[in-house]
A and B are shown apart, each in its own frame.
Chain A
Amino acid sequence: MFKLNLKIALRNLWRHKTSSFINITGLAIGLSACLMLMFYVSYEWNFDKQAKDSDRVYQMMTNITDNAGAITFTFNGTTTALGSVLKQAIPEIEIASRLSYGRINLIANGQNSFKKTACFAEPTLFSMYDYHFISGSPATAMANPRSVVLTETMAKTLFGTADVTGKSVRYDDKEDLTVAAVIKDLPENSSNRFDFLMPWSLYTILDPGAREVGWSDFSYLTLVKLRKGASAEAVNSKLGPLLKRYNNGDQQHFMYPLSRLHLYGTFEQGKSVGGAIEQIRLFVILAVGILLIACINFMNMATAKSERRAKEVGVKKTIGANRLSLIMQFLTESVVLAAISVVIAIALIELCFPMFNNLLSIKMDIGYFGFEIWAVIIGLVMLTGLIAGSYPAFYLSSFDPISGMKKKTRSRGFFSVSLRQVLVTGQFCFTVMLFISTIVIYKQIQFIKNRPIGADINALVELPQDGSLKDKYEVFKTMLLRSGAVTSVTHSSVTLSHHGSNFMGITWPGMTKPANDVMFNQVLAGYDYIKTTGIKMRNGRDFSEKLASDSASLLVSASAVKVMGLKNPVGTSVKVFDNQFTIIGVFDDYIWDAPNKSNNPMVIRLDDGVPGTIVMKLNADRSFQASIETINSITKQINPAYPVELKFVSSVYADMQHGEKILGILSNLFGGLAIFISCLGLFGLVTYSAEQRTKEFGIRKVLGASVFGIMRMLSISFIKMILVSICIAVPTAWMLMNKWLGKYEFHTSISWWVIGIAIAGTLLTAILTVGVQAYKTATSNPVDSLKYE
């Protein structure tokens, strides 16, 4: 029986090529879109879940509180003292590991030098992640402070082979390290990624901050692993009383599962309120929605051509088929169709995947040799087949034999037509909603993009202050200015687009509390900082080389002045970490870290010796290309060991909206696909409707109906359905997108023109789709129509 059903299914597909094409194209696009989105969802979902004990690994988090004790900010930075205190005092904690944030540093094998992600960690990290050691072992990899663990790709990049244990590499053009181990590359969906890992013991030699075990610098990460069966809640409840002994309870810490941090990493009042998971949910809805649209096409086409199948059902029932066997036959057909579509879908995915990865700036990989992937694909085929085929199967198999053979299926038609209308309406509802969402997301991205940064980033370039650029900064600056490539040069502890160090150790005159509890951001900068970056000054002036007193001076942001409540800030003396400073200028708050939210108060302190980032203003009178070449050449001359990594600050700011950009790209791409599939289905339905009414239109034309009249008759019912969809979709999308926008502190609004464009766009596409077929029908020769039947 199955063989026979399969035969009928394949022959049916071959005979009815138009509907097969529409169904297969729709389902193939739907399945490929769904699979691609699901791969992405799975990639995001499995973030930090690769290690077998990942459920026992926790990230230590820090809460920052305000005057009233309310939590204002939560982040993953911790102090150097926290890890060892936790390990000693809390028995449930099996191990703790301090590690640095991943940072880009130089690593070289002779002249072969590369800037790659470096990380320092304690050896206990190996017990938290299941790194696969190609050579070396976890026990010995960090025994020597001057050792390094390379990933396989890093080893091959440096030496051309992974067999490099015992060889020497140079770190940051300063330290010679021995390769103690080579490990397999870390999964892309891992939070603490690195290309090379060095022992914490080396960090304590190189970095004074890491050396000092204290409670004031939050520049380090702490991971803990609980013993089997230990309760995280119980441990968290012990943290408060324990930490009170060390820092008077000023610091609030809690453990948060590392495997949840990526998806649920947004905190409000110290509690997780979501994060990337919201986007993931959206993508799941998008994936299911697109597949459903394709399934609806199949259902509609199948029921629309029910008259053709009615005879078959009638005959089969007459000669002994029962309903179940017919249901099985129709389900076989839809599963066969889904199976053919998935083959095309996989080909499409293969074709588009590199582009998809590129668009999202990720490196996903489809493991075709894994069992899971085929289980998912086969499961999806079966599910799609069942969803798409269930309604036609139950509908078609319900025909009674007599009316089936007489092709009188319209007696049951009322229900079927209404359901078809509901399905088309639902399909277009989703499409219109996607249309509106796409425009709103685009508008929000543009809104943020156009939000004044507060600095003049036009023609501003930056360069990491590595190697000799640290010691020879003045020479470098002089050469650059003399070359005419730039008009101004400065340097600072961090890039303009990034926060500096968070601190609370500041006091000012008129302070009502014994200690400040507002988190401030501090950036250390050299001379000409304001001049180069174009940060807008409200009062006062930039640092000046001519005034020796400026070494104890401070620039503060407008929000800092507000927090301090200073009426005449310029000239006021404030204390930062026990050092007295005089405010010489007030600047407008500018954007760093996230362009869609306001930042905490900020101070800029003069420190001309601090290495970080060199910022340059290109000479507007010269070609940028020539200036960049000059900068490259001078940089290479002064700092030959390092590659030149010049970046336009404007592109750094543009990259800040990565998450929104992904959302924009995906909603554009998949919204477009949804519209295409919906229109494909609409085209199929109109074609069948025209076919069914061929005779009627022939008679009407003979009796004098105009081409427009017939086009209107054929199109009107479909256009009505689209109008109903619009009526439902517009308020729903309005509500949902307003909610989405509400998440952003700075957000655009949904203007009426957005709705107008969505309505006009959908209607125009639908009218064009329907119109083409309607015109073809309306202009056909009535004599041919009347020959029909």
Chain B
Amino acid sequence: MIRIENLEKVYKTEDIETTALNGINLHVKAGEFVSIMGPSGCGKSTLLNVMGLLDKPESGSYQFLDTELLKLNDKERSNFRKKHMGFVFQNFNLIDELTVFENIELPLIYNKVPSAERKVLVDEMIDRMNIHNRSGHFPQQLSGGQQQRVAVARALVTKPKLVLADEPTGNLDSSHGNEVMELLCELNEQGTTIVMVTHSSHDASFSNRIINLKDGCVISEKINKSRTEELI
């Protein structure tokens, strides 16, 4: 599904150049749940941003469903992103002025889904995330776990092929963190491909494969046998 070859990304300031990605190669199959780990500054978030078309690398190739994405212009990237990708962030990134329902509905509006259909899809998602009693609330009226459930619901409402999660439990306590991880596992079991950046080995243990980065390079790759066997 995803084929990344020799990806390089350099951040430049007036005085220094920092290589964030240094010739990364990465393949992700459809239906996989991949965790990316590594110390701070190793480039894992940059890799996720490039995969989410939020950032542009200097060189390399990034193929998604056999389409080379690095050649797309801004508008095409934006269209591709809203059609095929969903995002879950550490700090939820919900829009404070919108209710739970409206936050989840937002990607559907941008995808020009008709209003009646939007309502069905959002209600379905709200049921699935078990937050129906909160649909009229604003983000600041929810607990962290509930906010992240809304963020996941928003990421999934367009039924994306790929969900990119950047430390999804980073701002949650362990019980809420586990809830979110179980939710991601459940989604993965239903066929959604997930790429997650995390510091937590506990969270990574939910994935099929763990990729370790250091200084912008993949230094190791580990198959999580228990999850893979479960998958088989």
Q: Which residues of A contact B (CB under 8 A)?
A: 1, 4, 7-8, 11-12, 15, 311-312, 314-322, 325, 400-402, 405
Contact = CB atoms under 8 A, between A and B. Distances in A.
Contacts of A322: 75, 78, 110
B82 interface: yes
Contact of B78 (A4, A312, A320, A402): A320
A8 B97 contact: yes
Interface stretch (B87-95, B173-181, B216-224): B87-95
A321 B110 contact: yes
B32 to A, nearest CB: 22
Nearest to A318: B87
A306 to B, nearest CB: 15
B52 interface: yes
4 residue pairs, one from A and one from B, having the closest CB atoms: A320-B82, A320-B110, A11-B97, A319-B107
Interface in B76-108: 78-79, 81-82, 87, 89, 91, 93-98, 102, 106-107
A4 B142 CA distance: 21
Given A402-B54, A402-B55, A405-B93, A320 B111 contact: yes
Nearest to A400: B54
B137 to A, nearest CB: 13
B154 interface: yes
Given A319-B106, A320-B111, A402-B49, A312 B95 contact: yes
A325 B78 CA distance: 12
A622 B91 CA distance: 87
A4 B54 contact: no
Contacts of A4: 98, 102, 106, 109
Contacts of B52: 318
A12 B110 CA distance: 20
Contacts of A11: 97-98
A311 B93 contact: yes
Nearest to A317: B78
B49 A319 contact: no
B133 to A, nearest CB: 21
26 contacts: A4-B102, A4-B106, A4-B109, A7-B98, A7-B102, A8-B97, A8-B98, A11-B97, A15-B97, A312-B97, A314-B93, A315-B95, A316-B95, A318-B54, A318-B93, A319-B82, A319-B87, A319-B106, A320-B79, A320-B81, A320-B107, A320-B111, A322-B78, A401-B54, A402-B49, A405-B91
Given A4-B98, A319-B87, A405-B93, 6 more contacts: A312-B96, A319-B106, A319-B107, A320-B110, A321-B78, A321-B110
Interface string B54-84: 1100000000000000000001001101100
B109 A1 contact: yes
B126 to A, nearest CB: 17
Contacts of A401: 54
A7 B102 CA distance: 10
Nearest to B166: A405
Contacts of B95: 8, 312, 315-316
A379 B106 CA distance: 31
User: Chain B interface residue count: which class?
Assistant: 20 to 34
B184 to A, nearest CB: 18
Nearest to A405: B93
Contacts of A1: 109
A764 B79 CA distance: 54
A365 B145 CA distance: 61
B81 A318 contact: yes
A7 B106 CA distance: 13
Nearest to A322: B78
Contacts of B75: 322
Nearest to A319: B107
B93 A315 contact: yes
A316 B154 CA distance: 11
Q: Which of A317, A318, A325 has the largest count of B CB atoms less than 10 A from its CB?
A: A318
Nearest to A320: B82
Contacts of B81: 318, 320
Contacts of A8: 95, 97-98
Nearest to B103: A315
Nearest to B45: A402
A307 to B, nearest CB: 13
A397 to B, nearest CB: 13
B90 to A, nearest CB: 10
A713 to B, nearest CB: 25
Contact of A325 (B79, B93, B110): B110
Contacts of B82: 319-320
A681 B68 CA distance: 49
A325 B106 CA distance: 12
A20 to B, nearest CB: 13
A218 B49 CA distance: 88
B168 to A, nearest CB: 14
Interface string B199-225: 000000000000000000000000000
B160 to A, nearest CB: 10
Nearest to B46: A402
Q: Most chain-B Cβ atoms within 10 A of its Cβ — which of A12, A315, A316, A325?
A: A315
A321 B82 CA distance: 8
Nearest to B151: A315
A317 B74 CA distance: 11
A402 B45 CA distance: 10
Interface string B5-47: 0000000000000000000000000000000000000000000
B130 to A, nearest CB: 22
A632 B52 CA distance: 93
A405 B89 contact: yes
A401 B54 CA distance: 7
Contacts of A7: 97-98, 102
B18 to A, nearest CB: 15
Contacts of A319: 82, 87, 106-107, 110, 154
Contacts of B102: 4, 7
Nearest to A308: B96
Nearest to A10: B97
A789 to B, nearest CB: 12
Contacts of A311: 93
Contacts of A314: 93
Nearest to A401: B54
Contacts of A318: 52, 54, 81, 87, 93
A321 B154 CA distance: 14
B78 to A, nearest CB: 6
A1 B98 CA distance: 13
> Which of A1, A7, A312, A319 has the most C-beta atoms of chain B within 10 angstroms of its own C-beta?
A319
A12 B78 contact: no
A15 B139 CA distance: 13
A314 B89 CA distance: 12
